Amino acid sequence: MASSGVVKHSREQVEAVIRSQRVAAHFQPIVDLHDGLIIAYEALTRLEADSGFSNPGELFEAAAAHQLLWELEAITRRHSLDAAANWPAHTRLFLNCTPAVFADKRFAAQLAADMKGAPGLRPDRIVLEITELSDDQHISGLTEQVRAATAAGFHVALDDAGAGASGLNRMMSLRPQWVKLDREFVRGIDTDQLRQNLVRFFVHFARLSGVSVVAEGIERASELQTVTSLGVRFAQGYYLAKPGTRAETMDPGFVSAVRTRWASVEASVPQEMLEPTLGAICRPTGVCRCDCTAGEAIIAASRSSDQPGVLVFDGASPIGWAPKSALEQSPATALLNEVRTRFAPVTMLSATLTVNEAVSAICTRDDERLPDPIVVINGDQVVGIVRLRDLIRIAATEGQLAASGRTRLTGLPTRTRADQHMAEVIRMIAACPDDAAAHHDVAFVDLRSFAEYNSRRGAAHGDHMLRELADLISAVVLSTVHDAFVAHLGDDRFVITARAGVLGARLAALAAAFDQQRAEVAEEGNQPTLRGLFLPGALAVSKHPRDIYRAEQGLREKARERDSRLKIAGSYVLDASLVGERRQAA
């Protein structure tokens, strides 16, 4: 750590803290800005009141001055690992490591020994965060130790990325999987166009390089809104949550509060026109272990008529692509290990890359051969492949290239975004079933007689009505239910999700407001009326978005039957939980 040049504490004071272990581990969450879920916690050192030091920074500065960083970090690391034992699956732990300690040849062995006492933690769930490096600081052996840690399965993060003249050089030499934006980039970014441009450039560079970006030091809602709109995927800071003990940060109320803070901002983030991502266009692939035979690999590749080969794994890592042609030239009994020389090298790209970014990443490769297929990964998981010809075709097709995350007509999120949102909510409820902030209720809104109106009045009038309806939904629902989600599914069909207990009254108000709006328009002929299909609690009992759409179809059939029997003239909302009672009353 950087030193101020003045050491206020003696070596004996530092040794006393180490000997008595007057330290504790607190944790600050790192939030995925795609869904508001906590994906990691950074371990932070906190001191007991009688430690003799006013803050952790003072302790670490004194330890560095007296060459006691190794001993101090040993106890803080152990406390952090012990506190993080048996965390929820897939939750990562960020451990701060000073460059001098990380570069020490004893570090890897000591870390392995510490890990044995932390049940449930694996190397791939540990992110070793290298703390600040000054521009003139060169730590011998650091690059080699970082490579060794990565080879052992650990992730590496670079703190204060972009700070100083040599920041990008450090990224090139250390090749981290994570980078944390320097706080100076984040502070006041909502009002500073230059900072925004720098972060936009940095995010683009990181995406092409397969690096995850964390914005730290988020202290205001406007800062979170800005970094989210710039494409930053992860964030931490006092606005989202302050550090706490393990018990505090694992409490469902704490998790719910973090998500509520995120949701209050996410709904207002402007969505830019988005290109298709590799995750959206990839397709499943046949897979085989390297100890399989060529015959078994051919069978795996033949399960689908358009499979050009299989992806070969050694343990959890893909090691090559085996085309059908290469497999067919080998004896069926030959092990894949024996024909590895015929494998095509694997090129892995992130599922979040857009088509254009993927093309740029391929063009910057040193290898003159073009990779085909491209292996698409989400974090550490392989999600599928993309054939090079498909990538070129999509990049050359203007309509697909301009595919948007929001509809051009209403500006609301599309069906694709709605499906993603509902899948994220279903996953969140499964992880935290008692989370009161989760969206449990779903409603679908459409217009009866809209097709007739559109045909009679023309598409321009129909489009105008849909824009008015979108504005009305925003005014009646979004303005009063701060974390509601609304999407335009196409034609005259919309979907709304919200927390339990708040959507029913808003739907009734929406139906009344729509009737009032249409009554003020002097038009001849039958006017469309609004129909709401309310499915309370649907997200809490569904396993996939398609379950929601099936429930919608069932309720829609009942609504049509009701319409034909009762000849209802005005707008209305049909509540799935009351359909039986209403049918009996009718």
Q: At residue 568, does pLDDT exceed 60?
A: yes
Tokens 């732990």 belong to 93
The predicted pLDDT at position 305 comes to: 56
Proportion of the chain in helix, strand, coil states, percent, rounded to 5: 45, 20, 35
Edge to edge, what strands does the sheet with 309-314 contain? 286-289, 309-314, 317-323
Residue 471 and residue 478: Cα distance in Å, rounded?
10
Angle at the Cα of 485 from the Cα atoms of 481 and 490, rounded to 5 degrees = 135
Consecutive H or E run containing 529: strand 529-535
Long-range contacts from 149-154, C-beta under 8 angstroms, 24+ separation: 149/102, 149/108, 149/111, 150/175, 150/177, 152/108, 152/112, 152/123, 153/122, 153/123, 153/124, 154/111, 154/123, 154/124, 154/126, 154/127, 154/128
Domain 11-266 carries which CATH code? 3.20.20.450
Task: State the sign of the Cα–Cα–Cα–Cα dihedral 564, 566, 567, 572.
Answer: negative
Please list the residue range(s) of the chain that carry CATH number 3.30.70.270.
415-585
CATH 2.60.40.1080 fits 415-585, yes or no: no
- Residue spans in the chain of domains classed CATH 3.20.20.450: 11-266
> Per CATH, which fold does 278-401 belong to?
CBS-domain (3.10.580)
Amino acid making up residue 556: R
The pLDDT confidence band at residue 311, using thresholds 50, 70 and 90, is: confident
Rounded to whole angstroms, the Cα distance separating 564 from 566 reads: 6
> What pTM was estimated for this model as a whole?
0.56
Q: Which residues contact 296 (CB under 8 A, 6 or more apart)?
A: 288
Instruction: Calculate the average pLDDT of the chain.
Output: 82
| Confidence grade of residue 308 (pLDDT, cut at 50, 70, 90) | confident
- Specify the domain boundaries for CATH 3.10.580.10 within the chain: 278-401
DSSP per residue over 12-34, as a string? HHHHHHHHHT-EEEEEEEEEETT
Q: Phi, psi at residue 102, to the nearest 5°? A: -60, -40
Answer whether the bond into residue 99 is a cis peptide, omega within 30°.
no
Split at pLDDT 50, 70, 90, the class of 257 is confident
- State the pLDDT at residue 42: 95
pLDDT in tens, 324-356: 777 777 787 777 776 667 677 778 888 878 777
